[in-house]
A and B are shown apart, each in its own frame.
Chain A
Amino acid sequence: MSKNVLEVKNLSVSFNTADGEVHAVDNLSFDLQAGEVLAIVGESGSGKSVTASSIMGLLTAGNINLRGSIKLNEFEILGAKESEIRKLRGSDIAMVFQDPLSSLNPYYKVGVQIGEAYETHHPGASKEEVRNKVIEVMKKVGIPEPEKRIDSYPHEFSGGMRQRVVIAIALINDPKVLIADEPTTALDVTVQAQILDLMRDLQKTSNTSIILITHDLGVVAEMVDRVLVMYAGRAIEINEVKDIFTSPNHPYTKGLLSAVRSLDNGVREKLDTIPGTPPSLLNIPQGCAFNPRCSYQKWVGEKCLIQKPELISVGNSFSACYLSKADIDRMNNDDKPVVS
């Protein structure tokens, strides 16, 4: 059994706003093993980005309430001193954001920005050492002619190259955990393929654990080992990637899969959808947050409307739903779509 490099227990994040308290993350628990790739899947408002920010210790504003525990290799991040967390950022945990153009400082050369990540955590390093390290990592992420391009500005690169720079910044200090927040959503599909390939290769050679936040189930299928599905701030399913696609445990997961167009589907077939829209975080429905949109609620009954289901184990996986094992099998054999 591999060691847990990251342990999140009962994480709750809420924001005090003028319109009330927004519960972005509600009682979230999951583990990340060394060398594992975990996807966090969810739509807007699911809380996936807020989760990433809390792991990085970025939520420090006065109107944020944080509860629970986030342990990186036994070190507790929530409540730790800023100076302690700062040591981890960029060296033990690193992050890659969605839009590579806005993630890079337009006023400084690319080499400077990559080098900064190294210098911050190796304060005594000589200029030459830093430069060599930068060129080395640029080669690793596949940027051609690094000796020349080290002096280029971000706007002089194409989108795919920029994302490689961002990945270089993240990986230069060999982090234990890499959080990638929709790293390929802003890229063209052929470039996305290149970047995903790159991330897969790098992950294999360095055994970094990756948390991949995405809404693209195709990317999930190709890249990850396990999947955590979030809805309205809660974890509703945690499962191995193979099983999630063939036999999901939660109606929302099933609905999501049906809605995703696949190249195998017939042309101009009507798509399966989940009716309604994700709830506003100011007004989360009572009981299970998904119940207004769930076609299987009637198989369970009143319970869905009254009490929030906890994450319980179903075989090898976890699901926050009151459907019995038998009902889940029925659901997955149900050829009728979630909604017609």
Chain B
Amino acid sequence: MARFIVRRLTFMIFLLFIVSITAFLLFSVLPVDPASLSCGQHCTPEKIAANRIRLGYDQPLIQQYLTYMKGIFAGRNYGEGAQAFTCPAPSFGYSFYRGQCVTEMITNALPATISLTIGAAIIWLTMGIGLGVISAMNKGKFQDRVSTGLAIFGLSMPTFFIGLLLIYIFIIWLQIFPFPSYTPFLDNPFKWAQALILPWFTVAIVSAALYTRLTRDGMLETMSEDYVRLAISKGLPRRKVLVRYVLRGAITPIVTIAGLDIAVLLGGAIITESVFGLPGMGRLALNSVTDSDLPVIAGITLITAFIVVVANALVDILYAILDPRVRLES
């Protein structure tokens, strides 16, 4: 088992390097000139050329790549003399547009995204799996059709529509919640939750359908397995059979897919964050694209890709933990 984990993590690191090279190459072929972008307000061709040299864009690509990677591990210096400053490690670059180190911008945006993702995930997993179990146990009956119907209904609604709908119902009409404004958890947990509750449900309603379906199908398939029949023949109570045998058998693919879903969301739920004005990664990404702020875009792309690669590795390891048959390496 330990050998399996070590092997998987080694491969993951290898993959991260490949990802970083690919991302870097992608940005280097963009039809945008980073030197002129970072020039600022009053740009002249001489200034652009000077900028290019200053920022190292005249260097060969490999050198640029290495400088960039070095920055991630050791921080990076900008400017000369009195105007010199450092973006501390891990440095993903410097936004000339905003005048901030990219890393700092990302770390400021992460808490909101993480709060949104984790909270929504808890809700959608509970809803999705719960509805799936109800469907499976009442296959073909009224509860089954209603549960599946609800889930699909949620799936087919566009995120912004649900978001706006919830805003209308709960904020404007029923006036249960105030207009959302994000407060960090440590400042005021209650207000934090209040600001997030509608975004949580927006994301959850859309995502739950897949899990309802997965749970329902997985459970129905497992229910007809011989080992479930044997469990019942042992005299085990129904609930125990349901959890230890049926659900346990169905849960593995659900867990792995959930892991990947969460990873992708951690890169930023652009639409939801925009609708609710949450200062997360999604909004950061959106703004930096509209502002053509290349360093930030590059940084976010890289971070998001890293998160997915790491999540993939963790999910593989989790799968091996959950299914003893996978662990067997003779």
Do A and B touch, yes or no (CB under 8 Å, in the complex)?
A: yes
A106 close to chain B: CB less than 8 A:
yes
Task: Report Cα–Cα, A94/B229, bound state, in Å.
Answer: 12
For the complex, give the distance between the alpha carbons of A194 and B324 in Å.
28
CB of B227 closer than 8 Å to a CB of A:
yes
Q: In the complex, are the beta carbons of A155 and B236 less than 8 A apart?
A: no
B325 touches A58 (CB 8 A): no
A90–B240 alpha-carbon span in the complex (Å): 15
Q: Smallest distance from the beta carbon of B326 to chain A beta carbons, Å?
A: 10
B70 within 8 A of A: no
Contact A86/B237 with A105-B245, A155-B324, A155-B328 known, Cβ cut-off 8 Å: yes
CB within 8 Å of A: which B297-330 residues: 322-325, 328
Q: CB distance A104 to B232 under 8 Å? A: no
Report the bound CA distance from A99 to B328 in whole Å: 21
Distance in angstroms between the alpha carbons of A56 and B227 in the assembled complex: 15
Whether B235 and A156, one on each chain, are in contact in the complex, defined by CB atoms closer than 8 angstroms, is no
Instruction: Note all chain A residues with C-beta closer than 8 A to B236.
Output: 90, 116, 120
Q: Is A297 on the interface with B (CB-CB < 8 A)? A: no
Inter-subunit contact A99/B235 (CB<8 Å) = no
Q: Please judge, given known A-B contacts A99-B226, A102-B227, whether A108 and B234 are in contact too, CB under 8 Å.
A: no
Interface string of B235-262 (1 = CB under 8 A from A): 1111000001100110000000000000
- Which of A104, A106, A166 has the most chain B CB atoms inside 10 A of its CB? A106
Other-chain contact of A107, B237, B238, B322 (Cβ < 8 Å): B322
When chains A and B are docked, how far (Å) is the Cα of A87 from the Cα of B233?
Answer: 10
A residues near B232, Cβ cutoff 8 Å: 58, 89
Q: Mark A89-110, 1 if CB is under 8 A from B, else 0.
A: 1110011010100111111100
Q: A-B contact count, CB below 8 Å?
A: 70
Please, which residues of chain A bring their CB within 8 A of the CB of B244? Answer: 105, 108
Contact residue among A91, A99, A107 (Cβ-Cβ distance under 8 Å from B324): A107
Q: Are A90 and B324 in contact (CB under 8 A)?
A: no
Known: A102-B227, A107-B249. A120 touches B234 (CB 8 A): yes
Task: Judge whether A89 and B234 touch: CB under 8 Å.
Answer: yes
A105: B residues at CB distance < 8 A: 227, 231, 244-245, 248-249
Total A residues in contact with B, Cβ cutoff 8 Å: 29
Report whether B230 and A58 are in contact in the complex, using a CB–CB cutoff of 8 Å: no
CB-CB under 8 A from A155, the residues of chain B are 324-325, 328
Q: Decide if B235 touches A117 in the complex (CB within 8 Å).
A: yes
Question: Least Cβ distance of B58 to chain A in Å?
Answer: 59
Closest-CB distance, A86 to chain B (whole angstroms): 5
Tell me the smallest distance from the CB of B112 to a CB of chain A, in Å: 38
Assembly CA distance A105 to B246 (angstroms): 10
Pairwise interchain contact B227-A90, C-beta atoms closer than 8 A: no
A215→B245 CA distance, assembly (Å) = 30
Contact A102/B226 with A108-B244, A156-B328 known, Cβ cut-off 8 Å: yes
* In the assembled complex, A88 has its CB within 8 A of some CB on chain B: yes
Instruction: For B235, give its contact among A86, A103, A107 (CB under 8 Å).
Output: A86
Residue of A nearest to B232 (CB): A58
Contacts of B229 in A (CB 8 A): 58, 97, 103
Q: Is B225 an interface residue (CB 8 A)?
A: yes
The listed residue with most A CB atoms (<10 A of its CB), out of B229, B233, B328, is B233
Expressed in whole angstroms, the minimum distance between the Cβ of B176 and any Cβ of chain A is: 42
Name B234's closest neighbour in chain A (CB-CB): A90
User: In the bound complex, how far is the Cα of B249 from the Cα of A88, in angstroms?
Assistant: 26
**Minimum Cβ distance to chain B for residue A270 (Å):** 38
In whole angstroms, how far apart are the Cα atoms of A88 and B234 in the complex? 9
- Verify A95–B235 contact, CB threshold 8 A: no
A94 to chain B, nearest CB (A): 7
CB distance from B33 to the nearest CB of A (A): 57
> Does A153 sit within 8 A of B, measured CB to CB?
yes
The CA-CA distance from A94 to B323 in the complex, in Å, is: 28
State in angstroms the CA–CA spacing of A102 and B238 once bound together.
20
Per the bound structure, the CA–CA distance linking A95 and B236 in Å amounts to 13
Interface assignment of A121: CB less than 8 Å from any CB of chain B:
yes
Chain A nearest Cβ from B101, distance in angstroms:
47
Q: Which of A215-248 contact B (CB under 8 A)?
A: none
Given contacts A102-B226, A106-B325, A155-B328, is CB(A58)–CB(B234) below 8 Å?
no
Does A304 sit at the interface, judged by CB under 8 A? no
Give chain A residues whose Cβ lies under 8 Å from the Cβ of B237.
86, 120
B230 touches A169 (CB 8 A): yes
B34 to chain A, nearest CB (A): 52
Q: With A102-B226, A107-B249 known to touch, is A87 a contact of B324 (CB < 8 Å)?
A: no
Query: Once the chains bind, are B328 and A107 in contact (CB under 8 Å)?
Result: no
A116 x B234 contact (CB < 8 A): yes
> What residues of chain B lie closer than 8 Å to A94, measured between beta carbons?
233-234
* Chain B residues with CB below 8 A from A121, complex form: 235
A-contact bits for B209-240, CB 8 A (1 contact / 0 none) = 00000000000000001110111111111100
Q: Could you tell me if B233 and A90 are in contact, using CB atoms closer than 8 angstroms?
A: yes
Find the B residue at minimum CB distance from A156.
B328
Interface core residue of B226, B230, B248, B328 (most chain A CB under 10 Å): B230
- Would you mind naming 20 contact pairs between A and B with Cβ atoms under 8 Å apart? A58-B229, A58-B232, A86-B235, A88-B235, A90-B233, A94-B233, A99-B226, A102-B227, A103-B227, A104-B230, A105-B248, A106-B323, A107-B249, A107-B324, A117-B234, A120-B236, A120-B237, A155-B324, A155-B328, A169-B234
Question: Which residue numbers of A lie inside 8 Å of B, CB to CB?
Answer: 56, 58, 82, 86-91, 94-95, 97, 99, 102-108, 116-117, 120-121, 153, 155-156, 166, 169
Known: A89-B235, A90-B233, A117-B234. 9 other contacts (CB 8 A): A89-B233, A94-B234, A99-B226, A102-B227, A104-B227, A105-B231, A107-B324, A116-B236, A166-B230
Per CB-CB distance, the 6 closest pairs between chain A and chain B, nearest first, are A90-B235, A89-B235, A90-B234, A102-B226, A95-B233, A153-B324
